[in-house]
Amino acid sequence: MGKARSLADVLGVNPSFFTGLPGDPSIEDLAADRVWFRSLRKSSARQRKSAIGHGRNALLFFHWITDHFMLPDNDLPDCAEESISPKQCAAVLRDEWGYGENPLPSMLNLAEAHGIRAFSMPDVGREVDAFSFVFDGVPYIAVDTHKTPERIRFDIAHEVGHLLMHEAMFTEADRAVRDAEKEAHDFAANLLMPERRVEALLPHHASLQQILEAKRYFRVSAFAMAYRAHILGRLTDWEYRSVCSELSARGYRTGEPKGIPMETSQVFTFIAQSNHAKGISTSTIAEETGLSTKELHGLSFGNLIAVTGGNKSAKDSAGSTTRPQLTLHVNTRMNG
């Protein structure tokens, strides 16, 4: 027990982490070649290994969650065929979600409502950005919350693109055939900023003010909006460079002045409130999952915090065999 405690202290987990239960997921099956990283070239192998470790911890955490709560099922469409372009895939998803060409609300809540298990990523280095994977048929997205809300929205959209288009591309040969990162980027741009709506909002030779108005409309970063306008022919090469220079001078390179509020997780907000009402502390979850309270805090968008009191077992507090069903309220239908 002494050795287990010492190792647990080094790894930042509880000793119970080393005594897995029969129903626990085989987290070692989450291999590096099954994970899509948002910034593969910028992140080091060590950072990616650390991120995958947090992904494995998220699997244990969500295993506990689904034992006690009913989360939405995965209903994402399949766009894995090479003949389906990122633009077409984004249109399919928008059609299924019922948004037409209207701006999307919270990307985090949309992902959660459609069965994606989204979790925040404890600090492993800003270069990692975000990543996604599918485990036992369930999609997961890790979110870097140290960015602006606008960039986080694009990251989530980018990872949704990987989940829809690249789930089966596991080998180096598969990944060499297609530029998966470019495809995911194009998907995210089309999902958040549909071509026809951008062209309706922005005239040719769009002004900086019009770019800023459009970026607020679509809830994206100013640079993402400027790049999209350039790609769609609303800005010439010279105009695009001029807009980017002016945006940098105004502070948009390092932030998003007068930006949108941070999107919040409905899943973890509900879980935290439910546990509080039942007297279940984060320490109890830590003991039952083997994860540290710090790790649970880091994975839950900061919703689960270590507090004294409330040490009731989740199993003891259930009161019945039924799990509370989590209904996520997102504006899922909008008319164009």
Distances (CA, A) of 199 to 145, 215, 236, 255: 31, 13, 14, 26
The whole-number pLDDT of residue 311 equals 54
d(CA 62, CA 27): 12
> What confidence tens digit (pLDDT) does each residue in 96-153 have?
999 999 999 999 999 999 999 999 987 755 666 789 999 999 999 999 999 999 999 9
Contact residues for 19 (Cβ-Cβ < 8 A; gap 6+): 290
The whole-number pLDDT of residue 6 equals 55
* Domains delineated in the chain: 23-192 (1.10.10.2910)
Contact residues for 239 (Cβ-Cβ < 8 A; gap 6+): 205, 206, 230
Counting as low any pLDDT under 50, the low residues of the chain are 4, 7, 10, 18, 308-309, 318-320, 332-336
The whole-number pLDDT of residue 242 equals 98
The whole-number pLDDT of residue 25 equals 62
The whole-number pLDDT of residue 175 equals 55
d(CA 221, CA 212): 9
Q: Residue 220, CB half-sphere, CA atoms under 13 Å: how many?
A: 27
- β-partners of residue 135 are 138
The whole-number pLDDT of residue 89 equals 96
The whole-number pLDDT of residue 34 equals 72
Tokens for 92? 């399919």
